[in-house]
């Protein structure tokens, strides 16, 4: 179905993982669950609900000690291991806690290395055409510095503003990074668009920043219910219909 063009916008900001990059091969929760299953083997007896709650509480606890750090602070390996320790304690685990927390981190590292996220096939061409049409392009991502990743994929020179953070208060759904994009580009937020693949983070941040949200539905994922004012696409190249 043809899209109605989005007019009077000057800048387009993008999420990275799951938007310009292919989504991870399985939901992050499932990776956590898989690592816990492997650590406990036949002794695994935790429900999905218990695991999710334990991880959420661990995230909150870890950030209590570092939430005032610089916006570009990124977890060290020991930070991740401590998060695992807290999650396991929340599940009632007391025996071999350090060993199991370290094992969980080793499994996570191995899984993510085995299944790296690749640039979507239509991403580079879409970005280049949007740039050539005169749009200012930016990025805001809830992760570490993407510079080397962008360079390795040949899209490092496309963005005029890059924001990144995993720190609460800066990371999405906070509008902070998107507002920074708009300021660095010299464009009113109301004339900006944000493209992402998560309702609770990307669409929420866009609305809070005054950006128009464009939601990307990845293959194999259901189209969620979205509020009025959200543009939904299934492939990045559809942006070329939206921004003529």
Please indicate, yes or no, whether residues 63 and 131 belong to a single structural domain of this protein: no
Query: What average pLDDT does the segment 163-172 reach?
Result: 94
pLDDT at 115: 73
Structure tokens of 118?
A: 């690749």
Q: Are strands 212-216 and 231-233 parallel, antiparallel or unpaired?
A: parallel
Same domain? 144 vs 181? yes
200 plus 127 within the same structural domain: yes
Q: Is 127 among the domain residues?
A: yes
Q: The domain that contains 238 carries what CATH number?
A: 3.40.50.1000
CA distance readout (Å), 94 to 23, 37, 49: 35, 16, 20
Could you tell me if residue 110 is inside a domain? yes
DSSP 8-state class, residue 200: I
Asked whether residue 175 is domain-assigned, the answer is: yes
Residue 156 clears pLDDT 80, i.e. is over it: yes
Same domain, 106 and 133: no
Q: State whether 93 and 155 are in the same domain.
A: no
How far is it between the farthest Cα atoms of the chain? 60
Examine the fold and report which residue of 114, 142, 164 is the final residue of a domain before the chain moves on.
Answer: 114
Q: Which of 94, 114, 134 is the last residue of a domain?
A: 114
Tell me the per-residue pLDDT of 188-243, one tens digit each, with 9 for 90 and over. Answer: 999 999 999 999 999 999 999 999 999 999 887 777 666 778 999 999 999 999 99
Asked whether residue 16 falls in the same domain as residue 37, the answer is no
Tell which wins on pLDDT, 117 or 4.
117
In contact, 172 and 201? CB cutoff 8 Å? yes
- Domain end: 96, 114, 132, which one? 114
Any residues with CB less than 8 A from the CB of 51 and at least 6 apart, and which? 29, 32, 33, 36, 87, 91
Print the domain residue range for 94. Answer: 28-114
Greater model confidence, 104 or 67: 104
Order across the sheet with 192-196: list the strands: 161-164, 136-141, 11-14, 192-196, 212-216, 231-233
SS3 12: strand
Q: What is the pLDDT of residue 33?
A: 86
- State how many domains the chain has: 2
Same domain, 213 and 103: no
Residues 47 and 106 in one domain: yes
Q: Are residues 49 and 81 in the same domain?
A: yes
Q: 99-133 pLDDT, tens per residue?
A: 999 999 998 888 777 777 899 999 999 999 999 99
Let me know whether 16 and 128 are in one domain: yes
Based on the fold, state whether residues 163 and 72 are members of the same structural domain. Answer: no
Tokens linked to 86: 């807290």
Residue 69 pLDDT exceeds 90? no
């Amino acid at each position: 179905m043809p899209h109605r063009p989005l007019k009077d916008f000057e800048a387009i900001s993008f999420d990275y993982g799951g938007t310009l990059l292919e989504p991870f091969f399985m939901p992050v929760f499932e990776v956590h669950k898989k690592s816990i299953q492997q650590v406990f083997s036949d002794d695994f007896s935790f429900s999905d609900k218990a695991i999710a709650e334990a991880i959420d509480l661990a995230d909150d606890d870890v950030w209590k000690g570092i939430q005032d750090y610089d916006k570009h602070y990124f977890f060290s390996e020991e930070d991740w291991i401590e998060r695992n320790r807290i999650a396991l304690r929340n599940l009632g685990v007391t025996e071999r806690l350090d060993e199991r927390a370290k094992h969980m981190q080793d499994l996570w590292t191995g899984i993510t290395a085995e299944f790296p996220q690749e640039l979507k096939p239509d991403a580079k061409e879409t970005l280049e055409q949007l740039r050539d049409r005169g749009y200012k392009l930016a990025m805001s991502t809830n992760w570490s510095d993407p510079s080397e990743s962008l360079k390795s994929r040949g899209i490092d020179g496309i963005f005029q503003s890059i924001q990144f953070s995993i720190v609460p208060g800066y990371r999405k759904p906070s509008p902070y990074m998107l507002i920074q994009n708009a300021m660095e580009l010299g464009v009113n937020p109301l004339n900006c668009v944000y493209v992402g693949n998560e309702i609770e983070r990307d669409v929420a941040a866009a609305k809070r920043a005054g950006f128009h949200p464009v939601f990307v539905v990845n293959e194999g994922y259901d189209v969620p219910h979205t509020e009025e004012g959200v543009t939904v696409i299934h492939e990045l190249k559809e942006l070329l219909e939206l921004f003529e």
